[in-house]
Chains A and B, each alone.
Chain A
Amino acid sequence: MRRLLSEPFAVDRPWRLNPLVALRDESFGALAYHYGNRRLVFLKSRTLVTLVSSLHEYPSAAEALDAHVPEAQHTSYARALERLAASEVIDAA
């Protein structure tokens, strides 16, 4: 199975949890498993889990960040979303 090139992350666009990904809550955050590329990814904070699971409710990732993440941490969470887009845990909605 060849991987398709994932769309680069852009904070002003709408994103969602990839339908091929399942999340399992754990005390540290959650495990995310991608049934397509078979990758296991660790989401290492509860806030990140909430953010990722509610992305689809917002017209852009930036608005989801506003709703769920303290301002001072927007940069680090945006970077986390960028990595999740690269590993196809989230995709462009």
Chain B
Amino acid sequence: MPPEHVRAVSPVPLKDRFSQGLDAPICLTWELTYACNLACVHCLSSSGRRDPDELSLDEARGIVDHMVDMKVFYVNIGGGEPMVRSDFFDLVSYAVERRVGVKFSTNGTRMTPARARRLAALDYLDVQISIDGATAATNDLVRGEGSYEAARRAMDNLASAGFGQFKVSVVVTRQNVEELDALAAIADEYGAQLRLTRLRPSGRAVDSWEALHPTAVQQRMLYHWLAERPGVLTGDSFFHLSALGEPLEGLNLCGAGRVVCLIDPVGDVYACPFVIDRQFLAGNVRDPGGFPGVWRESSLFRSLRQPQSAGACASCGSFDACGGGCMAAKFFTGLPLDGPDPECVHGHGEAALAARGTSPRASIGHSKVARDGTPLPVPTPVRFRSPART
């Protein structure tokens, strides 16, 4: 649900305050592991293999303690597939018992009836099941064969466990944008909330973005679809579309390093979950000051909290609404960070892409690799135990 601004007397627009950074993040993503039993072609973190250096349960508990000190209200847990960590429930319980709410994203493959019941018994916990199409054909194209069935079964299991309102989480693509009504109907069927997010060219999507990102016509259609449905959650991710008219609900700003950040499985802190790259690495939770030290002191975060140049967007009449779009989308498509978003609704991104000298940047990752080091083609054949039978 978009945050609500209750103003009595406020001299400075809130957006400006947020651009200068807050004492603690509002949207903190924590990826628990790079291990994943799927191999989605658009995985933002290029997950696949567990990293041997991943944080232990004790270290993870220490991070939760820091979150309590910083009054972080909730954390978005993802991966990789967080449920493949054997200490997943220990960690989640540790957090919610301390009133650090958990919103976690899962591909659903490990959501057995028993685990669904265990989750249903926890307070302050939200679950998002990822599904990227209303049909197996559309979904499995990006998430791998069998993944649609698994996600639907996970939803069935949550519903049977009496979990209540979970979220059906969709990354909008050129292929599934025509299925939005059908996806909304699936969510309704479970009494669930639909959550749509933007595809950014991060992780493995550096390579698949060209083929998957919605066309300009589809983006306009998406803007109107969302504007008519304020109840659909978006994580504020489509604010570049606000340049098309009335701003969509939400903060409408790039929060990277200001109100948003990522803690990755080895404790590296990045400006946002979509910029896993050395250039956006702020520090590590194992550093002496821990996570609070990185959040407050990192030179990267401090510089992101300074006024930013609008570059080629400065003369655009929509700059107040769009702010030049998404830093990650620009970075990984090789565009200047102070210019238009590659999906600029006024077409300036396409022009910039055509004119750019560099090709998209490779990203660091944990994709499964063959013995000689070459990445395996994705999606790889998916083999996982069916949640219903475990």
- A contact set with B: CB distance below 8 Å: 1, 22, 24-29, 31, 33, 35, 37-45, 47-48, 73, 76-77, 79-80, 83-84, 87, 89
Residue of A nearest to B24 (CB): A24
Chain B: interface size category = 20 to 34
The 4 A-B pairs at the shortest CB distance, nearest first, are namely A33-B73, A44-B10, A24-B71, A40-B3
Beta-carbon contact of A45 and B26 below 8 Å: no
Which residues of chain B are near A47, meaning CB under 8 Å?
8-9
Which residues of chain A are near B30, meaning CB under 8 Å?
none
Beta-carbon contact of A39 and B6 below 8 Å: no
B268 interface residue per 8 A CB criterion: no
Residue of A nearest to B12 (CB): A28
Task: Name the distance in Å between B101's Cβ and chain A's nearest Cβ.
Answer: 6
Beta-carbon contact of B10 and A26 below 8 Å: no
A selection of 9 A-B contacts at a CB cut-off of 8 Å is A1-B164, A1-B165, A24-B24, A24-B73, A33-B74, A33-B101, A35-B101, A43-B6, A73-B9
Which residues of chain A are near B319, meaning CB under 8 Å?
none
Which residues of chain B are near A29, meaning CB under 8 Å?
10
A87 to B10, CA, bound (A): 19
Count chain A CB atoms within 10 A of each CB in B4, B22, B74, B123 and give the residue with the most: B4
Residue of B nearest to A31 (CB): B26
A37 to B17, CA, bound (A): 25
A45 to B8, CA, bound (A): 7
Beta-carbon contact of B101 and A44 below 8 Å: no
A47 to B3, CA, bound (A): 20
Residue of B nearest to A27 (CB): B17
Beta-carbon contact of B3 and A41 below 8 Å: yes
Task: Name the distance in Å between A92's Cβ and chain B's nearest Cβ.
Answer: 18
Beta-carbon contact of A42 and B71 below 8 Å: no
Beta-carbon contact of B7 and A24 below 8 Å: no
Answer whether A45 and B10 are a contact pair too, CB < 8 Å, given A26-B22, A28-B17, A35-B124.
yes
Beta-carbon contact of A39 and B8 below 8 Å: no
B49 interface residue per 8 A CB criterion: no
Task: Name the distance in Å between A9's Cβ and chain B's nearest Cβ.
Answer: 12
A86 to B10, CA, bound (A): 20
A41 to B24, CA, bound (A): 15
Answer whether A38 and B17 are a contact pair too, CB < 8 Å, given A24-B73, A45-B8, A45-B9.
no
A35 to B100, CA, bound (A): 10
**7 further contact pairs, Cβ within 8 A, besides A22-B71, A33-B74, A42-B3:** A28-B12, A28-B17, A44-B5, A44-B7, A73-B9, A76-B8, A80-B7
Beta-carbon contact of B99 and A40 below 8 Å: no
Task: Name the distance in Å between A71's Cβ and chain B's nearest Cβ.
Answer: 14
Which residues of chain B are near A87, meaning CB under 8 Å?
4, 6
A38 to B5, CA, bound (A): 15
Which residues of chain A are near B26, meaning CB under 8 Å?
31, 40
Which residues of chain A are near B8, meaning CB under 8 Å?
44-45, 47-48, 73, 76-77, 79-80
B137 interface residue per 8 A CB criterion: no
Task: Name the distance in Å between B308's Cβ and chain A's nearest Cβ.
Answer: 19
Task: Name the distance in Å between B100's Cβ and chain A's nearest Cβ.
Answer: 10
A35 to B72, CA, bound (A): 12
Answer whether A42 and B23 are a contact pair too, CB < 8 Å, given A22-B71, A22-B73, A35-B124.
no
Beta-carbon contact of A38 and B101 below 8 Å: yes
